[in-house]
Amino acid sequence: MPLILMTGYPSSGKSTRAAELKRMFEERLSQPENKHRRLNLHIISDSSLGFDHQTYASPRDEKNARGALLSAVERLVSKDDIVIADTPNYIKGLRYQLYCIAREVATTHCVVYCAISVDEARKINQRRGAQAYSEQLFDELVMRYEEPNAMAKWDSPLFTVVQHINDELPFDRIWQSVVEKRALAPNFATAVKPVAETNYLFELDRITQEVIAGVLESQNSGVPMSEVVVPGSSKKVRMPGRNLTLSELRRVRMQFTKLNKQVPLKVDAIADAFVEYLNINL
C-alpha cells in the first residue's frame, strides 16, 4: 500500500501534517465497513531513525540519514502497509529513489508539499526554542530545497497544502489516489516504451559512462575540487573530500542503471539524474 512523502522548507509544519494525516487514516481504517481495515500504518521520521536537525549540517551524517531512510522504507513498504515518510525529502533525487522503491513493490505513492513562505517558516523556527534549526542551517536548507513538480512522475500525484493560511489536508483525494487506486506493475513503463526510446538502454549506459569518465578525468588533473563538471549535465558532482575510486563509481552506476531499467527516464534527463544519484550515494 502507499508510500506518502512529506516535503517542505524546514519548520514548514511537515511533522504536524504527518501526524494529522496519520489520525485521518486511523479514523478511516477503523470504520467497520472499510474493506482496507487490515492495513498497517507507519510514520518514519528523523527522530525514529536516530537523527536530529544537526544531521543536515554534515554531508557525511546526512548521507547516513538518507541511507537509513531508504532502508526503512524498503523494509516497511508493502501491499499491507501505509508508510508516511516524515523527513525533509528536499532533494528531488532522493524523492526519485523513494518513488522507485514504491514501484518495485507495485504500490502507490504520493507527495504532500507543505508550502509556506521563507519568512513564515523562519518565524515558526524562531519560536521553537531548543528544537529550532540554527539560522545558518535554516538558510542552507532553504537554499538547497528543490520544490516538487507535479509534472515529474516521482512527485506525482502532488498535494500542496498552503500552511500559513491553515489550508486543509485534501484527505479524500489522498485516500483515493493512494489506497483506492491500483498501482502500476513494476515493469509497466518498460512494457509500453515508445519507439523513440528503443535505444534507451544504450543511451543509459553511454551517458552514465561519460559522467564517470568526466569525474575520473577531473581527478587526474591533480587540482583539488569540491565540485566537478561532467559531460551532459547542468549539475555538478559534489566531491566527498577525497578522490573517488573507479570501483565505487561503477558500484553506484550499477545501482542507478538497475533502477532506471525498470522506470525509464527521458534520455535528456539521464545525466542530471545520475549526478544527483551520485551526490546522494557517495
pLDDT digits (tens, 9 = 90+) for 164-215: 777 899 999 999 999 988 765 554 443 334 434 558 888 888 899 999 998 9
- CA atoms of 167 and 76, how far apart (whole Å): 30
Beta-carbon contacts of 67 under 8 Å, excluding residues fewer than 6 positions away, are none
CB 265 within 8 A of CB 273: yes
pTM across the whole model: 0.72
pLDDT tens profile 130-166:
899 999 999 999 999 999 999 888 899 999 999 877 7
> What pLDDT is attached to residue 104?
82
CB 142 within 8 A of CB 134: no
Query: What sign does the dihedral 247-253-254-256 (CA atoms) show?
Result: positive
**Of 109 and 225, which is predicted with more confidence?**
109
What are residue 6's DSSP bridge partners?
A: 112
Q: Tell me the Ramachandran region of residue 141: left when phi exceeds 0, alpha when psi lies from -120 to 50, beta otherwise.
A: alpha
CB atoms < 10 A from the CB of 37, how many? Answer: 11
> What pLDDT is attached to residue 178?
92
Give Cα separations from 96 to 32, 53, 69, 109, 260 (angstroms).
36, 23, 13, 11, 10
- CA atoms of 42 and 3, how far apart (whole Å): 10
Residue with grid cell 498552503, as numbered in its chain: 162
**Of 267 and 222, which is predicted with more confidence?**
267
Residue with grid cell 526510446, as numbered in its chain: 197
Find the mean pLDDT for residues 259-263.
74
Residue with grid cell 563538471, as numbered in its chain: 229
Average pLDDT across the chain, whole number: 87
CB atoms < 10 A from the CB of 234, how many? Answer: 8
Beta-carbon contacts of 204 under 8 Å, excluding residues fewer than 6 positions away, are 257, 260, 261, 264, 265, 270
> What pLDDT is attached to residue 190?
32
